[in-house]
Structures are given as structure tokens and as C-alpha cells.
Amino acid sequence: MKRTSIALLCTVLLVLSACGSRVSDNEAGSGQGLNAGGAQSGGDGSGGGGDTKNKIGTLENPCSAAKANGAAGSAKPAPGVTADTIRIGVISDKKNDITPVPTIGIEEAVKGFVAMCNESGGINGRQLELKTYDSQIFKTDDVTKSACNDDLFALVGTGSVQDQQGVSTREACGLPEVGAYSATPERSTSKNFFQPVPGTRSNVFNNGPCKYLKKKFPEAVKKAAVVYTDVPAASSRGLATKEACIKAGFDFVVDKGIAFGEKNFGPVVSEMKSKNVEYFTIVSVVPDTAALLREMKNQDYMPKVIDLGQQYYDEAMAAEPAAAGAFVLTNTTPFAEEDDTPALQLYSEWLEKEGGRPSSLGVQAFSAGLLFAQAAASLGNDLTREALVAALKDIHEWDGGGLQMTTDPGSGTHNDCFLYLRIQDGKFERAFPEKGFECDPKNIVKLSKEYTTAG
Amino acid sequence: MSDLFRFLVIFGLQSAAIYAVAASGLVVTYTTSGIFNFAHGAIGMIAAFTYWELSQNRGWPALVALAVVLLIEAPLIGWILDRVLMRRLTGASTITTIVVTIGLLVALVQLAAIIWPQGTTTRVLPEFFSGSSIKMVGVNVSYHSLIVLACAIGVAVGLRVVLYGSRLGVAMRAVVDDRNLGGLNGVDPDRVSSAAWMLGCMLAALAGVLIAPILPQFTPVALTLLVISAYAAAMVGRLRSLPLTFVGALLLGEFENLLNFIDTKRLGGDAVADLARNLQASAPVILLFVVLICLPEDRTSLGANRVRNLIPRPSLRTVTIAVAAYVAVAFVVAQSGLVSDNTVRELGKGVALGVVMLSLVLLTGYAGQVSLAQLGFAGIGAVVVWKLGPVVGLVGGVLVAAGVGALVALPALKMRGLYLALTTMAFALLLEKNVYGDNAVFSQLKPFAIGNSSAERPPGLGGDTAFFVTMAVAFGLVALLLTVIRNGSFGRRLQAMKDSPAACSTLGLSLSATKLQVFALSAAIAGLGGGLFAMWKGSSVGRNDFSLLEGALPGLPLVLVAVVLGITSVFGAMFGSVAFVMMPVLGGWFSSVRSAMNLLPGLAGVGLAQNPDGVVSQVAGAVGGNGHEDTEPAGPPPLEPEHMGAGRPFTDDDLARLDDELGLSWGRCDAVARTP
């Protein structure tokens, strides 16, 4: 008995004594530690992706070994930059005990990008060093503080579900961020934040998809239903969608929040059925949505139109038989079109080497890496955070070499394109438009109020 | 009308059946073993995941997998639990059984997360006869729902027969009532207790396998939480009556669906609709709270507290030296750069949480009151600091937390042990859901729910070093305060209340006033800790930091670590808080021990079955004699009140001293003094 307790106390003492060790801190906060890339294999032209050295899809490869001419512009070297290396970081949700999250595959995508860029010679000959941080859903602010302390040049390809956290921390420490995406308006409008597909605003919305569905299903959208998980981020998004679609001519007869962890979707399905809902959209997560659709099927009731956002572009959703026929939005080029999209081939090729799972947000993370590289490479030896931000602000047309819709990341204008996939036979198939993305600046509508995450 | 029928009968019964299946196992285990198994849901979860592993991942036929899980795995778990853990808990204090089973819960959830990692893949467990259903009043009811309902009824009838009709059932109940008497009557208590746990675990497994396919998210936490929702149903039956448990499950199912059915928007506009929706999200917790307060406590569960622990009484001098050393170490750690900024950040959280743990030392260690709501009180402190600023906020936070603590104490006045634990747990869940959580009734507090609030530090203490040391000083002051209390008459009153409330009442002590005072004081200390925590973190302060089961620093493991490292002494809090925050950090440094670090709090809780006093006092006992010291001169009389009656009869001096210590002035009991 006493032996057990002494053993336990020893564990505690071990914990305490380990606090003094600084050496191990270099490995803190990440499973991988530094991932200096130079030694990456796979450089022997292995590729369906075409010649990585020069082109990434339609984009000139921003990475190269050619040293920039000219001396450094500023006297003081920027954080994370040496003569041979640039140190960047990526924050994403990896491990958590609660639920699978849509940000899976982001970290691997950024690792893939770094390996690819380093293989091409780095950014003007400087190899990229990547530090990875796991925000574990609840720890976004904590790992942002770690990133602030870790002498990074910038955050690249980040994406966490609760990204309203850590915003003020990052702004205060001056770390620029080229994120994979933003989950909340707090993040998307924060200082020195750029993303390949600008969106998630509190009072602006792209209602191009609503207009398209209104045109295609004029009757159905008059009996519309919006359902959302009753947590602030999801409900504000659901209500913003509702208003934007009303502007496109929808009439909503059901507007329902469902409790987090709800297990019985019978009542909400019953309500929709009794009100003859023909159009249905939901802001929730894949498992809950699948369960709700199953309940619809069970009740012999399927709305004519099921409209799902980008987070549902996930194999698990397509695999759900009850989701057959659902429309699903995507910001990135469909994976089914990889054969015709060299940039997407490169993404898949490098992701595979990192053992990641393909995901639309992962593609955006890869695109964010390219966006960062493009801006950083244009700076030559004048690698400062200020110059990086200025260069990013100057990029007004971006499609990641064909990875995604064309956007204006420099000014952060809300994206105005869309692409609908449809779930058929367990697969995502392109529904509209026939090619590329459907874009129109008029798709951007202003909403009557601020739909902030904080309700 | 058919709508009403549909909601109340079809949907209501479906929900009720789930709760009934989940709750009946709890009741059976409690009836047959006398232990409320917090880990019941977690055991069901392990069974459901094993079933998934066999039937989905390895492609075994469903029936074979089911048989393996229900007839081999579950009884095996029950047998092991009984042999390794539960048998040692015979006669243990309620807090020990609570902490051991909560430890089991935490350990099992972590174990499942290690074997079946979340966050990478979505697992789906299909329903039985997936896709088949029959039509009832315009609603298709799936075969699975019918199976759940049938199992609920089958379990009820079967258990009734087993518990009241079979020899084994009678023996089980006899052993719970009086283990020795049962043994005298030819029952083998060990065998019966094994059988009871095997049966309980089979029911848990059945519930897990039946419920998992219905939950949209097949994750360890979701399954474990569902069973917590079923606590309300079990409490309606006061943990003993199965029929009443089913009534409770029915009430719960109907209550939820009634809220769904009533069109609150039409009745009272958006405000009422919002309120109803927010409350619906916590319907099980509200029902649990109401049931606990309204139903009279099950007296038979009380009995005398058979365990009488002496609480160590370190002298003020010892604690002062320890506190000074603590502050000095804090100063060095914060100042010297020996430790990285990231580690200092975690350690700072530990210091603040240490204050929260001190509140547990007072409440649970000294006064014997179980509370799972301390982190909730800390959350209140943090909210007030966020709203009112550093100085006013901290004072205000302490006061508000004290007020809320007294409020919680009101229903708790008549409760002990398990009931108190459940009441405070229900209260903590309500706080984190409806006060400053996702379903906040006050919309002004919504930013706190999503961690979007910030807290400033008092002027002059903005720097990390200064504030770190300030927190250490605050910890030290509270530790000194507790030592003074422990050594004073209030401390003796608390000890007396812990030992025997009935005796206290007989002596004329006001239990109500004492409980109210100690609850308020400990809530105030927790509020102080929460306020400090918020200021230390500075940005993105929110519900995540103060949640009992989810979030960055889940509260259940905090309670575990506090109790395990010694809830009866301020030193336990000192080590416990640091260990609590350093475990994940250590896991981050050395990936090889990450799993172990996640498991540790749970395992430590389980280990309490061995050391009910906690590690620090055990080790102190092993190293330096009896683990507590007195500064007062050693010599025969006057004895400390704790030692009176041992070895020799009470003397008049003893009684005078006892009266003095307890603040009693109504005279002494000559009859006792005269007994030889």
C-alpha cells in the first residue's frame, strides 16, 4: 500500500523535476517537432503532377533554389528568418476526445506543401521549417501563445474549429497568418489575416447558391427549413444563411435549433413533414446530419432539395445512403476532377507521402501554403513580416493554380463563386456549373444585422 | 391531436426507453452492491466500442459479436472490477466510492480514446435491422426503437424476478444491507458481490450496445454523457425502485418531447421560444436537480460513517515555512528563465487551480462535504472579473461566488455523500450550460460561452512574473487561512460534522449554519481561484476552462487529482495543482508517455481504493511518523478533542475543553463523566 503511494509521489516528483528542463521544450506542443525538409525524398520526378520545378497547375512555382539578389532591406532580421531557413507554423485541431472534426488533413496538407516547396529549393533558396501545433478544439488560444513564443515568421495553412479564440493573442504578438479557412467572423476579419477563400463574415453573405436553387426549384424554396445545432457558431451561421436565402426569394416555414448531443430527431423531422417542407438546409456536423437524414428516410419523407455546406464534402457524408441526391457546396475543385487538374494531383501526391486524408479544407491549406510562398518569394531578401503582409495585400487574383475558385485574398473581399456537387451512388458528382465555378459579384449581399458568433 | 399523440406516445416512449435501459443498470448495481457507479456509462461505452470493433471492423456476425460482448466481456469486466476494486470499498467513505468510480469513468474514457482514437475517423454503428420499420400513427418506428423498448420492459421484469424471486437476488440485497449478517446466514458475500457486478456490467453493456446506434455521434464522451442524463431517472426511483426508475425515464422522455411539441414562439414570442430551447438542452439536468431537491433523501443509504479519519493538523509555522518556500520557488520559476514561457504559462494555471483545490480541502477534506461544483464557482469568479475588471471584479467575483455557494448549500443542507455529489454535479452542469455556456439564458454572457472574453490584470501587476508571484502569494494566504481555520474552533466544528452529523446535532451544534458557512467560504475561495485563473490566461477565457466534463481542463479529473494527492491538507493542493497541469505538458514533451499521462488522473482515482487519505498524507505517514504534528506541548492532559475517549475515559477537564472548543455553553454532561 505504501509502496503504491510512494510510486505515485515519485511520478509527481518526476513531473516537477521535468519542469526545469528547457531542452525538451523544443519538442513541446507538437507531435512532430521541427520538420526541416531538405532531405525529403521523392524528388526524382515522380509525378503525375507534371514538373513540380516550374509549374503548379496554372501557377508558376513560387519555390526555387535561386538566391535572391540584393542585400536584406531592413537592418534587423525578421523573426524566424535566417540566411538559409524560414520558420513557419501551422495550428489545427488534431487530437480530441469529443468528436471527429472537419479540420482533419490540414496539418498533413501543410506538411506536404512544405516538403514540396523545399524539394523545389525552398523560398529563394531558404528552406522552410515547419512547427506544428494541435489546438485540440479547446486549446486554440494556448497553442497560439506557444506559437507567439516560438520565433516564427508566420502562421501558414491554419484552421481550427473554435478559431474565435486566440485572435487577440495573435494580433498582439504580430504574427501574420495565411489561414486555410476561417470558421468565425472574428478570425476572418482579424488583423493581418489572409485566406485563399475569403468568407465567414458577420454581415455579408454569398447567396449565389440560394439564387441558383431558387431558379431551379422555384416551388420548393417557398417551403424551406433551416436547422442548426444550438451552439453559437452554428446558430449564427444558420440564421445568416436564412436571411441571405430570403433575399433570394426563399420562404422559411421551419427554423429550428437542435440541442448539442440530441439523439432523437423524430420531432424535428415530424415538424418538417407536417409543414410540407421541400427545401432543407442544416448547419451541424456530419454524424448529426446523417442521423437526421436517416430519420427522414425512416419517416418516408425526403424534402425535394437538401442543401449542404462545404463541411459536408466528406466521404462519410457520401457514404450515407439517406444523403443520396443532396447538394453539397465546395470551394475547391472536386477531387473527381483530379485527372484534369495538375495542381490537385500535386496536392494528392504530397499528401499521400505525409499519410494525410484528402479533404476540401486540406486543399485550402495547401493553397494557403502556395499563397504564402508566392508573397514571400516576391520579397527577395527583404523578408519582414510587414513586407509579407504588404505583398499578400497585393495579391488580388488567386486560384492556387487551379485548386480552388478564383478569389481576391489581398483585399479579403468575400468570395462570390460557388460550385454544387450532388451525392449520387455514394459519390460526389458535379451538379452546377458544368465547368469551373459560377462567379458573380452580385452574389454578395449585405445582411440586415451582424451575425456574430457570440450571438 | 394525432400530433400530440405522436409526440407524447411515439417519441416520448422512444426517449423514455433509452433512459430506462441506461438507468436500470445503475439502480441494479446500487441495489446489489451499495455503490453508485459513476462509470456505468463508461463501461457501456467500452462494450459498445468492442461490439463495433468485432462486428464492423473485423466483420464478425452481429449475433456472435453481441454474445461475446454481453456474455463474455461484460461479465469479465464486472468480475475484475469486483475483485480488484469494489471489494476493497466495503465500508469505505462515500467520497472514496465516488472518487474511485469517477476515476474509473475518466480512465475508461481515456482508454477508449487510446484504443479507438477520435478525431481521425468517423465510426458508425448501424442499428439492428437497420432500415426496417413499422408504421404507427403516421410515424415509422424503427425496429431498433422497438427492440430498445422491449429490452427496457424485459430488463424490468427480469430484474424483478431475479432480485425478489431468486435466492441469489435475495442474497445480493442481504449482503448490501449487512455483509456480515448475510455471511452468517450462509451467503458467501464475495461470490454474491461478484455476481452483482457481473450483472451490473452486463446491463451496462446492453445499454451501450442498444444506445450507441441511436446517438448521432459514436464517441466515448457522447455515450458516457448520455448515461449521466439518465441519472435523473434513476434518482426518481431513489436508486432502489426499478418501477419508479421507469416512471422517471418516462417523465424525462415526455418532458423533453413536450418542450419540442409546444410551439413556444406562438405562445410567447421569440424570448420565450429562446428560453424554452435553452432549457430543453438541459432538461435531464434540470429534472435531476428538481428530483434531488424534492424527493426525500433515502435514509437507508446513510448509516453511520464507518470511517473516521484524523485530519492532519500542520502547525501555522510549518505551513508558513512551506508557503514561503512555495512563493520563493514561484519567484525563481517566473523570473529566471529556467523554464520556458510555455511551461510557465501552464504552471501559472496550476497555481490558480491550486486555489480552487484549496476550496476542496476546506469543503471536502475538513468538512466532509462532497462537491463537484467547485470549478463552476471558479467560473463565476472568472465571469465577474471579465465583466467588472480586475480589482472590483475579483472582490465581486469572490462575493458572488460565496452567495451562489450559499444558495447551493440550501438544498444541500439535508444531504450527504452521494446525494450531495449528484446535486452539486447537476448544479455545475446547469451553470456551464445555462449560465455561462452555449445555452446561456443571459445573452450578455454568450461571449464567455465561446471563450471570447478577456480579463485584465490589476494595475502594476500586468507582467507575467509579477502576476505569477501574486498568484503564489494568494495561494499562500488562502493556505494560511485554512490552517488557522483548521486549528481553530471552526475547524473542530467541521471535523465534528464530518465525523458524525448526528452527534453534532445532539451536542447542540447548528449543522445548517455550519454547512452554509463552509459552503459559502469554499465557493468564495474557488471564485478567487477562478478570477486569478482568468487574469492569468488573459485572453480567450471561457466556459472551456471551467467545464466539468468537456473542455480544456475538465473538472472531474481536477477533483480526482485533488482528492488523490491528499484532500485533507493544503500540501495536497500544492502538489495536486502542479501535477494536474504538468501531466499533459509532460505528455507533450515525451510522446511515449502521452497515453499514460492521459490515463493517470483516472487511474489515480481508482488507486484511491487503496489509500483513502490521499498520497501526500500516506507518504508523509510512511516517511515521518504519523503525518501530522502539533505545536502544543506534548504531555498527558489536556488531550486534543480528536484523541479524547481513546485509552481512558473522559474527564471533566476533557469535557470542559470540548465545550470550549465547540463553543458550547449549555453545560456539561455529568452522566458521561461519571461512567467508569
The secondary structure of A213-258 as a DSSP string is HHHH-TTGGGSEEEEEESSHHHHHHHHHHHHHHHHTT--EEEEEEE
Return the residue matching grid coordinates 436565402.
Answer: A245
Read off the pLDDT band of B369 (50, 70, 90): confident
* Structure-block grid coordinates of residue B18: 433509452
CA distance A347 to chain B (A): 19
SS3 letters across B477-499: HHHHHHHHHHHCHHHHHHHHHHH
Q: Where are the alpha helices (DSSP H) in A252-329?
A: 266-274, 286-298, 315-318
CB contact under 8 A, A266 and B10: yes
Asked if A29-197+338-393 and A204-330+416-446 have one fold, the answer is yes
Which among A23-32, A83-92, B221-230, B421-430 has the top mean pLDDT? Answer: A83-92
Mean local confidence (pLDDT), B425-447? 83
Q: Which residue of B has its CA nearest to A290?
A: B216
Write down the mean pLDDT value for chain A. 84
Q: Which of B120, B339, B552 is the closest to A100 by Cβ? A: B120
Mean local confidence (pLDDT), B51-57? 93
Which among A317-331, B125-139, B267-281, B617-631 has the top mean pLDDT? Answer: A317-331
* Structure-block grid coordinates of residue B531: 478570477
Q: What is residue A308's predicted lDDT score, i.e. its pLDDT?
A: 95
Residues of chain B contacting A259 with CB distance shorter than 8 Å? 277, 280-281, 439
User: pLDDT at residue B119 above 80?
Assistant: no
Instruction: Return the higher-pLDDT residue of A275 and A53.
Output: A275
Residues of chain B contacting A162 with CB distance shorter than 8 Å? 450-451
Q: What is residue B301's predicted lDDT score, i.e. its pLDDT?
A: 45
Mean local confidence (pLDDT), A181-206? 91
Residues of chain A contacting B604 with CB distance shorter than 8 Å? 8
Mean local confidence (pLDDT), A253-263? 82
- At residue B609, what are phi and psi to the nearest 5 degrees? -55, -25
Read off the pLDDT band of B381 (50, 70, 90): very high
Residues of chain A contacting B6 with CB distance shorter than 8 Å? 270
Contact in structure between B531 and B397 (CB atoms under 8 Å): yes
Lowest mean pLDDT among A240-249, B77-86, B218-227, B593-602: B593-602
Please tell me whether the peptide bond between A433 and the residue prior to it is cis, using omega within 30 degrees of 0: yes
Q: Which fold has domain A204-330+416-446?
A: Rossmann fold (3.40.50)
CA A131 to chain centre: 18
Distance CA A441, CA A414 (A): 9
Read off the pLDDT band of B89 (50, 70, 90): confident
Q: Which residue of A has its CA nearest to B605?
A: A8
What are the CA-CA distances from residue A120 to residues A1, A380, A402, B93, B574 (Å)?
61, 16, 19, 67, 53
SS3 letters across B271-292: HHHHHHHHHHHCHHHHHHHHHH
A18 shares contact with chain B (CB less than 8 Å): yes
> Exposed (0-12), middle (13-18) or buried (19+): which is B259, by Cβ within 10 Å?
middle
A300 shares contact with chain B (CB less than 8 Å): yes
Q: What is residue B484's predicted lDDT score, i.e. its pLDDT?
A: 93
Read off the pLDDT band of A453 (50, 70, 90): confident
Read off the pLDDT band of A277 (50, 70, 90): very high
Read off the pLDDT band of B280 (50, 70, 90): confident
Q: What is residue A8's predicted lDDT score, i.e. its pLDDT?
A: 40
Q: What is residue B1's predicted lDDT score, i.e. its pLDDT?
A: 57
User: pLDDT at residue A394 above 50?
Assistant: yes
Q: Which of residues 343-382 of A touch B (CB under 8 A)?
A: 357
Q: What is residue A441's predicted lDDT score, i.e. its pLDDT?
A: 93
User: pLDDT at residue B635 above 60?
Assistant: no
Lowest mean pLDDT among A190-194, A249-253, B364-368, B442-446: B442-446
Read off the pLDDT band of B614 (50, 70, 90): low
Q: What is residue B589's predicted lDDT score, i.e. its pLDDT?
A: 74
Lowest mean pLDDT among A108-112, B458-462, B561-565: B561-565
Lowest mean pLDDT among A152-161, A369-378, B239-248, B374-383: B239-248
Instruction: Return the higher-pLDDT residue of A40 and A363.
Output: A363
Which among A22-26, A297-301, B181-185 has the top mean pLDDT? Answer: A297-301
Q: What is residue B297's predicted lDDT score, i.e. its pLDDT?
A: 63
Percent over 90 (pLDDT), chain B: 22
CATH H superfamily, domain A29-197+338-393: Response regulator (3.40.50.2300)
User: pLDDT at residue B19 above 80?
Assistant: yes
Specify the DSSP element, H or E, that contains B63: helix B62-67
CB contact under 8 A, A15 and B600: no
User: pLDDT at residue A13 above 80?
Assistant: no
CA distance B7 to chain A (A): 7
Residues of chain B contacting A324 with CB distance shorter than 8 Å? none
Q: What is residue B271's predicted lDDT score, i.e. its pLDDT?
A: 75
| Sheet with strand A252-258: strands edge to edge | A252-258, A224-229, A279-283, A305-308, A327-329, A420-424, A427-432
CB contact under 8 A, A28 and B610: no
Lowest mean pLDDT among A427-431, B345-349, B582-586, B648-652: B648-652
User: pLDDT at residue A46 above 70?
Assistant: no
User: pLDDT at residue A417 above 90?
Assistant: yes
Instruction: Please report, for chain A, the start and end positions of each structural domain, with discontinuous segments joined by +.
Output: 29-197+338-393, 204-330+416-446
Mean local confidence (pLDDT), B475-488? 93
CB contact under 8 A, B607 and A288: no
Specify which residues A91 forms β-bridges with: A133
User: pLDDT at residue B633 above 80?
Assistant: no
Across A340-424, the runs of DSSP E, i.e. the strands, are: 417-418, 420-424
Read off the pLDDT band of A392 (50, 70, 90): very high
Read off the pLDDT band of B144 (50, 70, 90): confident
Cβ within 8 Å of residue B296, ≥6 positions away: none
Mean local confidence (pLDDT), A65-94? 81
Distance CA B173, CA A116 (A): 69
User: pLDDT at residue B676 above 50?
Assistant: no
Residues of chain B contacting A288 with CB distance shorter than 8 Å? 216-217
Report the b/e string of B124-138 with b at 16+ CB within 10 A.
bbebbeeeebeeeee
Specify which residues A428 forms β-bridges with: A423
User: pLDDT at residue B490 above 60?
Assistant: yes
Q: What is residue A26's predicted lDDT score, i.e. its pLDDT?
A: 36
Percent over 90 (pLDDT), chain A: 58
What are the CA-CA distances from residue A218 to residues A222, A248, A323, A352 (Å)?
7, 11, 22, 43
CA distance A357 to chain B (A): 9
CA distance B11 to chain A (A): 7
Q: Which domains does chain B have, with CATH numbers?
A: 2-116+124-255 (no CATH), 316-337+344-610 (1.10.3470), 641-674 (no CATH)
CA distance B43 to chain A (A): 16
Q: What is residue A118's predicted lDDT score, i.e. its pLDDT?
A: 95
Lowest mean pLDDT among A50-54, B23-27, B618-622, B635-639: B635-639
CA distance B223 to chain A (A): 10
Contact in structure between A83 and A90 (CB atoms under 8 Å): no
A25 shares contact with chain B (CB less than 8 Å): yes
pTM for the model stands at: 0.84
User: pLDDT at residue B304 above 70?
Assistant: no
Mean local confidence (pLDDT), B217-226? 80
Q: What is residue A376's predicted lDDT score, i.e. its pLDDT?
A: 94
Instruction: Return the higher-pLDDT residue of B71 and B572.
Output: B71
Instruction: Return the higher-pLDDT residue of A24 and B452.
Output: B452
Which among A69-83, A165-179, A286-300, B20-34 has the top mean pLDDT? Answer: A165-179
Mean local confidence (pLDDT), B650-668? 62
Q: Which residue of A has its CA nearest to B16?
A: A264
Q: What is residue B445's predicted lDDT score, i.e. its pLDDT?
A: 85
Q: What is residue B616's predicted lDDT score, i.e. its pLDDT?
A: 57
Q: What is residue B522's predicted lDDT score, i.e. its pLDDT?
A: 95
Report the b/e string of B534-545 with b at 16+ CB within 10 A.
bbbbbbbbbbbb
Q: What is residue B15's predicted lDDT score, i.e. its pLDDT?
A: 83
Return the residue matching grid coordinates 408504421.
Answer: B135
A8 shares contact with chain B (CB less than 8 Å): yes
Q: Which of B7, B439, B589 is the closest to A24 by Cβ? A: B589
Write down the mean pLDDT value for chain B. 81
Read off the pLDDT band of B308 (50, 70, 90): low
Instruction: Return the higher-pLDDT residue of B331 and A452.
Output: B331
User: pLDDT at residue A21 above 60?
Assistant: no
Please tell me whether the peptide bond between B584 and the residue prior to it is cis, using omega within 30 degrees of 0: no
CB contact under 8 A, B339 and A22: yes
